[in-house]
């Protein structure tokens, strides 16, 4: 066995591209990767496209994997499971992200020994419909909600252009099925307090003739539900304590007039109300206890994920001679 550190091979870089019906754009994405990262392995994960995306990607020289389960989350789960690399560059296959600065993103990851670098979108200004005002507002609101609930400073939580270390990719327990996967990717990094950075990336119009698969309201609702689900599962004490606080406050506010009446008359004139308020207070106590119990369970899950994360070398350890 050769333990000479100078004999370590160079970083294995994999470009992983999830796509669905992107025949008009995927060749451009592969070509840009070839120009910017000639040493990278390019993997296109085709999510049951019906327009010949897989054939175009294969003709462009990419390795193509077909993913039967529909949804970007299902594709991401398959990408991280199947591809073996030290650095993973994930980008949407719609050619909207400028890949000219991908080398800088990788260098930032390696030099800082980070686990994730997010390319936050900067509109190139060529088309007002490229990054619509409504999408920007929704992104800011959802990003701000995640930052407040889970901590961290974020600019573009929903970006589809990211660079990951191997220890991130192999410790990520993906649950989401669709476009809400970006939310889960971000929360995973925040929960384990992974070091990450953000760099600006030019966001441009789609190739002529191609169409976005996003549904503004439907996908926004899914993302909001994902944030709520992650808040309950990862911050159960905060969630159930908030419920307990509201119930207890309502119970106390309703009980004060009854208590005053009882002190003056010795009677409880509204017995059903008193019973209801007592039940409300018991529900508040139960909610708090549930939060404490689930908080203990969550700590155990987070410790298990952290141990899995720590079992994998960081990108700098792999890259240094």
What is the per-residue pLDDT across 114-154, written as a single tens digit (0 to 9) for each?
999 999 998 766 655 556 666 777 888 888 889 888 988 88
CATH, residue 40: 3.90.550.10
In-domain check, residue 67: yes
SS3 assignment, position 145: helix
Residue range of the domain that includes 155 = 10-234
| Sheet with 13-19, side-by-side order of all strands | 63-66, 41-46, 13-19, 87-90, 162-165, 116-123, 196-203
pLDDT 10s digits, 240-281: 999 999 999 988 887 777 677 766 776 667 667 777 778 888
Give the whole-angstrom CA distance, residue 90 versus residue 54.
17
- Is 279 found in the same domain as 193? no
Which pLDDT does position 19 carry in this prediction?
92
- Percent of the chain past pLDDT 70, that is, above it, reads 87
Domain boundary among 201, 234, 267: 234
**Overall domain count for the chain:** 2
Residue 1 belongs to some domain of the structure:
no
Q: Which of 281, 288, 275, 284 has its CA nearest to residue 251?
A: 281
Q: How far is CA 283 from the centre of its chain?
A: 33
pLDDT band at 291 (very low <50, low <70, confident <90, very high): very high
Same domain flag for 76 and 205: yes
Both 100 and 242 in a single domain?
no
Residue 314 belongs to a domain:
no
The reply to whether 241 falls in a domain is yes
Q: Is 4 among the domain residues?
A: no
pTM of the model: 0.83
Q: What is the mean pLDDT of the chain?
A: 86
Are residues 76 and 197 part of one domain?
A: yes
Tokens encoding 104? 């800088």
């Amino acid at each position: 066995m050769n333990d000479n550190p100078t004999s370590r091979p160079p970083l294995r870089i994999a470009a992983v591209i999830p796509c669905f019906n992107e025949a008009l754009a995927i060749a451009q994405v592969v070509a840009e990767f070839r120009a910017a990262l000639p040493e990278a392995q390019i993997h296109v994960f085709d999510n049951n496209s019906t327009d010949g995306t897989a054939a175009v990607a294969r003709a462009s020289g990419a390795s193509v994997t077909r993913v039967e389960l529909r949804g970007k989350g299902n594709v991401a789960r398959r990408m991280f499971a199947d591809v073996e690399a030290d650095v993973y560059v994930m980008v949407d296959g719609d050619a909207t992200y400028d890949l000219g600065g991908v080398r800088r993103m990788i260098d930032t990851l390696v030099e800082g020994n980070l686990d994730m670098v997010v390319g936050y979108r900067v509109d190139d200004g060529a088309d007002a419909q490229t990054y619509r005002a409504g999408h920007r507002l929704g992104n800011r609101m959802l990003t701000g909600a995640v930052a407040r609930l889970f901590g961290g400073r974020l600019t573009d939580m929903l970006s589809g252009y990211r660079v990951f270390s191997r220890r991130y990719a192999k410790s990520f327990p993906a649950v989401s099925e669709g476009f809400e996967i970006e939310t889960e990717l971000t929360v995973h990094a925040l929960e384990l307090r992974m070091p990450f950075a953000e760099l600006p990336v030019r966001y441009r119009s789609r190739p002529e003739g191609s169409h976005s698969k996003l549904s503004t309201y439907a996908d926004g609702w899914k993302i909001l539900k994902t944030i709520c689900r992650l808040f309950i599962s990862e911050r159960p004490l905060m969630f159930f304590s908030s419920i307990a606080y509201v119930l207890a406050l309502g119970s106390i506010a309703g009980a004060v007039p009854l208590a005053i009446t009882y002190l003056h008359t010795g009677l409880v004139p509204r017995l059903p109300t008193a019973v209801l308020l007592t039940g409300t207070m018991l529900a508040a106590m139960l909610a708090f206890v549930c939060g404490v119990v689930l908080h203990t369970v969550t700590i155990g899950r987070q410790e298990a994920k952290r141990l899995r994360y720590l079992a994998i070398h960081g990108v700098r350890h792999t890259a240094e001679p």
